[in-house]
A and B are shown apart, each in its own frame.
Chain A
Amino acid sequence: MSDMAVDMGRRRPFVVRHPSVLIFLAALALFTVGVTILAEGFGIGVISTSFVKTLGKTLCLCLVALAMDLVWGYCGILSLGHMAFFGIGGYAIGMWLMYARTELIVIESLAAAPLPPTPQEISDGIATQIFGVVGASEFPAVWAFAHSLPLQLAAVVLVPGLLALVFGWLAFRSRVTGVYLSILTQAMTLALSLYLFQNDSGLRGNNGLSGLQNLPGLDQVPQSVVSMWFFWASALALGLGYVLSAWVVSGRFGSVIRAIRDDEARVRFLGYPVEAFKLFIFTLTAIIAGIAGALYYPQAGIINPAEIAPIASIYLAVWVAIGGRGRLYGAVIGAAFVSLLSTWFTGGQAPDVNLGFYTISWVDWWTVLLGLSFVAVTLLAPKGIGGLIDLLTDRVSPDRHGADLGPEPGALREKEADR
């Protein structure tokens, strides 16, 4: 390598050295502008507000898929718990949305009273409104900061981050890997959702938090406009998340985590503290998932413990696998494609197939189709949809006579790698 090439490698800006990032950002920008023009809020109104919300939510799912790809596709940790972090982010923002809006309603209704209400009366009023459904009328301790937007926004980042830090520290320190780690993350998710299902968890049990689409104090702003705000925020978050992820996986850090995925014992003998790297990625991706959730649920309008069920995290892994793990755009494509298709099939829009003796109703059969597709992709096209890009760019898999690229269970398989 000549000196000139070395110098150029240093001077060229990051996005230029990684053209796929530029292409992705351009596509995302084009999509955002396109939707803005077509939607009701600021454009010609061809796209309904509810579909804008679906698209905005899809962007959030793409963001959490990106996190999943970092932790699994790049670092080899098959976490089946990242949707729990996503849900926690949603709960954190949902608490403020619900509190602040209820507060306004309570103040308004008490304004008619002869005496001005005391803070205690207002607080009791809010508590009765929010917790009436679970037969309580007092604020549980977890709601201590619900009155403050900055504090709840901090919670969006800190709670998933700290939970991941503690969980990861315990698991990685005792060198739990592979299937056992996956099971452990599922157990964490299950425990969290079962806890939230209880009425005395302080988060309204199976009712969850609702009315999240209404921004406090902005009742007069139509949903068509609010939906665009969230859509833009989601697009921005996805764009930033993509650049951040691309930066993290580039350079020596990216090399080290891919090396951990394929052969972590060898990385230790190079002197890298493998556990610290895993913990870093696990925590970082939990935070990204939390942020994605905080943008998703105001668009969904409601969050309940079923959203945190273990199956949600398994779906996340399926999306990334179908999109093609170990490449960032693969995760995004997988999440967008599968979740939109799922909305279409389960939304009753897909025409039923009449076989004469039996009618296939997609609402019921979609999961089966998804499962079969997953098996097919795993067996026949391990590179997933992202692998189609390789056909365009002429990248080919190495012939390693069936051997994987490393001894770890998370290592890339022969057919997933490219030359």
Chain B
Amino acid sequence: MSTLLEVSGVSKTFDGFKAINNLSFRIGRRELRAVIGPNGAGKTTFMDIVTGKTRPDSGTVLYGDKGQSLLAMSESRIAQAGIGRKFQRPTVFEDQTVRENLTMALDGSRGPFAVLWSRATREAAHRVAELAGEIGLDGTLDRKAGELSHGQKQWLEIGMLLAQNPKLLLVDEPAAGMTPAEREHTTDILVEAAKTRAVVVVEHDMEFVRRLNCKVTVLHEGSVLAEGSIDHVTADEKVIEVYLGR
């Protein structure tokens, strides 16, 4: 299986605190990966580094066929290169309708002139309607995103991610604030998405992770503590000590 993203030897210090410590991580083109770890383990910071929000102090982050380095690229260029991200706290554009949120995320031109001249096409409208169906928001297309419930906002953000059609999807705690039924649906979407792309899911809920049925990476104090199947890592003594046992 060829590698899509390779993070090696990355470290990041915040005011003397090592949030990421010599972290190495790789993921294939069509792979689902769960990342777990205690609070403050550096899971979100890891995503910040990959998406260009935070610059690491050292290490390399290579992406794609040509092993392009992401470290010199801006957030928007990284996103254009096919890396999509869902934030821990749902962030959608609350003053805009569900339709506008999804339309903005649809893959396509991103420069100001191209966007100015681009007008609504039937294909785009269909794709938006289709996505809304997938995330269970078809009845709410013309409502402002700010009116949605917490769970619905999570959905909308997942819908926006799918609309971007990224090669690599980074999903930070997607199930937070969701009902058990909603969680199950989320699992289905993520598993389905990983058939055609790489998906990294950060989640605390072990039941959720178990249902994803994929390789698990355990982070602790900014580096990988264990990696393998869910049964393998939950049986690991170090993991039990720092994470599960508490």
Residues on A facing B (Cβ under 8 Å)? 1, 3, 6-7, 9-10, 248, 251-253, 255-256, 258-259, 262-263, 265-266, 268-274, 276-277, 279-280, 398, 400, 405-406, 412, 417, 419
Contacts and interface: CB of A to CB of B under 8 A. Distances in A.
B238 interface: no
Which of B105, B116, B164 gathers the greatest number of chain A CB atoms within 10 Å?
B116
Interface stretch (B28-36, B63-71, B94-102, B183-191): B94-102
B111 A419 contact: no
B103 A252 contact: yes
Contact of B146 (A258, A268, A269, A417): A417
Given A256-B115, A270-B160, A262 B75 contact: no
A4 B168 CA distance: 35
Interface stretch (B37-45, B118-126, B207-215): B118-126
Given A270-B160, A272-B76, A273-B76, 8 more contacts: A10-B122, A252-B104, A252-B118, A256-B104, A262-B93, A265-B53, A271-B80, A274-B76
B46 to A, nearest CB: 15
B147 interface: yes
Interface residues of B, number: 40
Given A258-B93, A259-B104, A406-B93, A273 B144 contact: no
Q: Which 6 A-B pairs have the closest CB atoms?
A: A271-B79, A268-B75, A280-B112, A271-B80, A405-B95, A6-B125
Contacts of A272: 76, 104, 110, 115
Given A252-B104, A253-B112, A1 B119 contact: no
A417 B122 contact: no
A228 to B, nearest CB: 35
Contacts of B53: 265, 269
B118 to A, nearest CB: 6
A274 B104 CA distance: 13
Contacts of A251: 118-120
Given A268-B74, A268-B76, A269-B51, A398 B119 contact: no
A262 B125 contact: no
Contacts of A412: 95
Contacts of A269: 51, 53, 75-76, 79, 84-85
A253 B51 contact: no
B176 interface: no
Nearest to A407: B91
Nearest to B95: A405
A384 B100 CA distance: 25
Given A269-B51, A405-B95, A277 B112 contact: yes
A248 B116 contact: yes
A400 B115 contact: no
Interface string B125-136: 110010000000
